């Protein structure tokens, strides 16, 4: 049985984006919870029911842990990857504080792309063909000898910017120059990974892990490119849907070729992975045979953003016992119930995003939102009690409906009522045709 108290729990969520607002919103609904603190939070978590912001940064581990001791926090939930990679979970556990998230060593599945690939190879998890190297000369040699090596990934956390998907030899060479000669990633450029370029549709599979068992959450899909029709630069994510239109068709394949071997791999590797494992999968369609096979592109050691906003809106069960169970190795006791309805999440950004972010612009949001529409905040803050912009991705509007097209329509109709200076958003989330035929 879970050792969870029956009432009056205090929770701390670490982070300040849309993902953290969604986590705060969902955890605050738990009948077991009295209060959810969010450090540092945003304008949304400042005003959410039962929630309060705490003015501590995500890398101030000593202050964060002291806050938990002073306030008798029952559970801390970590949002951002950099806190995990810097060892916040190890730090909290040394102080006997309960925390949801993998240790620094386990989070290596995210912060070292080369370790993640070795892990996949060792346990026969399906992934793109790859080679690693440590020097410019080696990299040039590999690129010349292997026409398939068109995707280049810089090892280490590069804040989403360390991946080059190239189209030809020249762009491969230019990317290598940027990495090794212009030293764009500093020390992160010591190891570089080449991958075969895959084609198809990406999906985000979130797995709760307790060190022994895994429990998949509802699948989702995010849209990373800045502009409609998946054009423009990669961003932190411009929208998300749950479930992806094609997921059900391939459900059994996902189970057999990803979930089952991944559970075995995690057990065998003995890294005691407790937390959320975000498995980024590409449903690869072989151009010659037309055959479709899911391949793992990457792992993240945390919830995705903005997928979390789309996924949590569909979760009918209490999230708190599920996160708690991960910290005790008792996921087997958890059953999660999901809405059959589909969700569509669209991110409102400032028009210069991702180059620039927006600051101090007044945000107007209607005080009441219709049923089954939620506005999660990302780059917002309260300034003299007024809501203003404080980032590139400002708001995430999510709607739920029996049909994805209707969920998208509701989201877009509602977005028309929001406003801040130079607000922009993609118009095709939930409306794009599948890339799989």
Task: Give contact residues for ligand AMP (rule: CB under 6 A).
Answer: 128, 151, 153, 163, 165, 195, 197-198, 202, 224, 280, 297-298
Determine which residue in the list 43, 304, 321, 391 makes contact with ligand GLY, applying CB under 6 A: 304
Which range binds ligand GLY by CB under 6 A, 48-56, 104-112, 298-306, 401-409? 298-306
Q: Residue 372 has what DSSP assignment?
A: T
The answer to whether 201 contacts ligand GLY (rule: CB under 6 A) is no
Whole-angstrom Cα Rg for the chain: 21
Residue closer to ligand GLY by CB (options 101, 321) is 101
- The least CB distance from residue 18 to ligand GLY, in Å, is 10
Locus of tokens 């200076």: 421
- The least CB distance from residue 295 to ligand AMP, in Å, is 8
Locus of tokens 């997921």: 247
Burial class (CB in 10 A: 0-12, 13-18, 19+), 280: middle
Round to whole Å and give the CA distance between 328 and 423: 44
- The least CB distance from residue 308 to ligand GLY, in Å, is 8
Round to whole Å and give the CA distance between 251 and 211: 24
- The least CB distance from residue 149 to ligand AMP, in Å, is 10
Q: Where are the alpha helices (DSSP H) in 168-275?
A: 169-176, 251-254, 260-269
Residue closer to ligand GLY by CB (options 138, 428) is 428
Residue closer to ligand AMP by CB (options 105, 163) is 163
- The least CB distance from residue 414 to ligand GLY, in Å, is 22
Round to whole Å and give the CA distance between 90 and 76: 13
By a kind-dependent CB cut-off of 5 to 8 A, residue 379 interacts, out of ligand GLY, ligand AMP, none, with none
Nearest-CA neighbor of 33 among 43, 48, 55? 48
Q: Where are the alpha helices (DSSP H) in 236-305?
A: 251-254, 260-269
- The least CB distance from residue 345 to ligand GLY, in Å, is 11
By a kind-dependent CB cut-off of 5 to 8 A, residue 297 interacts, out of ligand AMP, ligand GLY, none, with ligand AMP
Site for ligand GLY in 408-437 (CB under 6 A): none
The answer to whether 300 contacts ligand GLY (rule: CB under 6 A) is yes
Interface pattern 217-246 for ligand GLY (x via CB under 6 A) = -----x--------------x---------
The answer to whether 110 contacts ligand GLY (rule: CB under 6 A) is no
By a kind-dependent CB cut-off of 5 to 8 A, residue 222 interacts, out of ligand AMP, ligand GLY, none, with ligand GLY
Burial class (CB in 10 A: 0-12, 13-18, 19+), 5: exposed
Q: Which residue is nearest to ligand GLY (CB)?
A: 304
- The least CB distance from residue 304 to ligand GLY, in Å, is 3
Residue closer to ligand AMP by CB (options 93, 224) is 224
Round to whole Å and give the CA distance between 276 and 304: 10
Residue closer to ligand AMP by CB (options 15, 162) is 162
Round to whole Å and give the CA distance between 346 and 395: 8
By a kind-dependent CB cut-off of 5 to 8 A, residue 300 interacts, out of ligand GLY, ligand AMP, none, with ligand GLY
- The least CB distance from residue 300 to ligand GLY, in Å, is 5
Q: What tokens were used for 245?
A: 């239109």
Nearest-CA neighbor of 355 among 233, 253, 267, 271? 233
Round to whole Å and give the CA distance between 166 and 169: 8
Site for ligand GLY in 256-285 (CB under 6 A): none
Determine which residue in the list 155, 201, 307, 401 makes contact with ligand GLY, applying CB under 6 A: 307
Q: How far out from the chain centre does Cα 136 lie? A: 31
Round to whole Å and give the CA distance between 378 and 188: 28
Round to whole Å and give the CA distance between 372 and 6: 29
Burial class (CB in 10 A: 0-12, 13-18, 19+), 237: buried
Residue closer to ligand AMP by CB (options 54, 163) is 163
Q: Using CB under 6 A as the criterion, which residues of the chain lie in contact with ligand GLY when the complex forms?
A: 222, 237, 300, 304-305, 307
């Amino acid at each position: 049985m879970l050792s969870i108290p029956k009432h009056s729990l205090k929770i701390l969520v670490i982070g300040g984006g849309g993902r953290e607002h969604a986590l705060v919103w969902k955890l605050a609904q738990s009948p077991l919870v009295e209060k959810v603190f969010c450090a540092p939070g945003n304008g949304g978590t400042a005003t959410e029911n039962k929630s309060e912001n705490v003015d501590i940064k995500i890398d101030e581990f000593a202050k964060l842990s002291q806050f938990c001791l002073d306030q008798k926090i029952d559970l801390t939930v970590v949002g951002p990857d950099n806190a995990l990679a810097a060892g916040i979970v190890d730090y909290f556990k040394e102080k006997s504080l309960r925390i949801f998230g993998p240790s620094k060593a386990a989070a290596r599945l995210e912060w070292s792309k080369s370790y993640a690939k070795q892990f996949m190879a060792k346990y026969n998890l399906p992934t793109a063909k790859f080679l690693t190297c440590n020097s410019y000369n080696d990299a040039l040699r590999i690129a010349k000898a292997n026409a398939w090596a068109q995707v280049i990934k810089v090892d280490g956390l590069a804040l989403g910017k360390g991946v080059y998907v190239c189209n030809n030899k020249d762009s491969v060479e230019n990317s290598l120059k940027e990495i090794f000669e212009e030293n764009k990633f500093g020390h992160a450029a010591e190891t570089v990974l080449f991958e075969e370029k895959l084609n198809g549709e990406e999906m985000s599979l979130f797995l709760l892990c307790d060190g022994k068992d895994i429990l998949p959450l509802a699948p989702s899909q995010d849209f990373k490119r800045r502009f409609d029709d998946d054009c423009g630069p990669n961003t932190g994510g411009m929208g998300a849907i749950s479930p992806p239109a094609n997921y059900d068709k391939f459900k059994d394949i996902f189970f057999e070729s990803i979930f089952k071997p991944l559970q075995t791999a995690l057990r065998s590797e003995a890294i005691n992975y407790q937390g959320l494992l975000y498995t980024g999968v590409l449903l690869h369609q072989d151009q010659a045979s037309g055959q479709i096979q899911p391949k793992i592109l990457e792992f993240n050691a945390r919830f995705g953003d903005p997928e979390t906003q789309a996924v949590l809106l569909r979760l009918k069960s209490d999230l708190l016992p599920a996160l708690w169970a991960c910290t005790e190795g008792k996921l087997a006791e958890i059953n999660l119930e999901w809405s059959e309805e589909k969700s569509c999440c669209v991110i409102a950004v400032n028009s210069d995003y991702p180059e620039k972010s927006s600051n101090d612009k007044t945000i107007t949001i209607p005080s009441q939102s219709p049923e089954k529409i939620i506005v999660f905040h990302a780059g917002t803050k309260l300034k003299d009690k007024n809501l203003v912009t404080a980032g590139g991705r400002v708001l995430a509007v999510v709607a739920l409906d029996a049909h994805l097209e209707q969920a998208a329509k509701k989201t877009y109709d509602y977005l028309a009522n929001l406003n801040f200076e130079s607000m922009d958003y993609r118009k095709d989330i939930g409306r794009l045709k599948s890339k799989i035929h």
